[in-house]
């Protein structure tokens, strides 16, 4: 008996349009994750997925200060990353702190 892959099993239950939408969504999420790693305002982040908590966790890298963010979806993660960097920039400006890059 040949074992079917998970994708093959799903494929038999979904229409071609549904499969195309899944592929588009997966590509969009991969693009967003790459964009976060590429950076925002010259700040870059590492991202991990916590399967137990069902959360993405990120941390801006290359700083003495700690900037973290999280999200349950890739889009939420992207917004949290940008918000965290923007908050850091405001925090530094308010305290007349030198920005780290």
Give the span between the Cα atoms of 77 and 75, in whole angstroms: 5
Token pair 């991990």: residue: 48
Question: For position 80, what pLDDT does the model report?
Answer: 95
Are 77 and 69 within 8 A, CB to CB?
yes
| CATH fold for the domain made of 6-94 | Double Stranded RNA Binding Domain (3.30.160)
16-53 pLDDT, tens per residue?
A: 777 777 777 777 777 777 777 778 898 999 888 888 88
pTM for this one? 0.68
Token output for 64: 């003495």
68-92 pLDDT, tens per residue?
A: 999 988 889 889 999 999 999 999 8
Question: Where exactly are the structural domains of the chain?
Answer: 6-94
Residue 73 CA: distances (Å) to CA of 11, 29, 58, 81, 91:
24, 9, 12, 12, 26
Position with higher pLDDT, 13 vs 88: 88
Average pLDDT, the chain: 82
48: which strand partners? 57
């Amino acid at each position: 008996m040949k074992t079917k892959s998970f994708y093959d099993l799903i494929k038999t239950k979904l229409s071609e349009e549904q499969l195309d939408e899944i592929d588009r969504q997966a590509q969009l999420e991969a693009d967003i994750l790459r964009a976060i790693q590429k950076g925002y305002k010259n700040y870059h982040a590492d991202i991990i997925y916590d399967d137990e908590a069902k959360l993405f966790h990120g941390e801006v890298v290359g700083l003495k200060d700690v900037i973290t963010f999280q999200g349950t979806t890739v889009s939420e993660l992207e917004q949290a990353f940008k918000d965290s960097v923007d908050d850091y920039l405001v925090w530094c400006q308010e305290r007349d702190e030198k920005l780290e890059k």
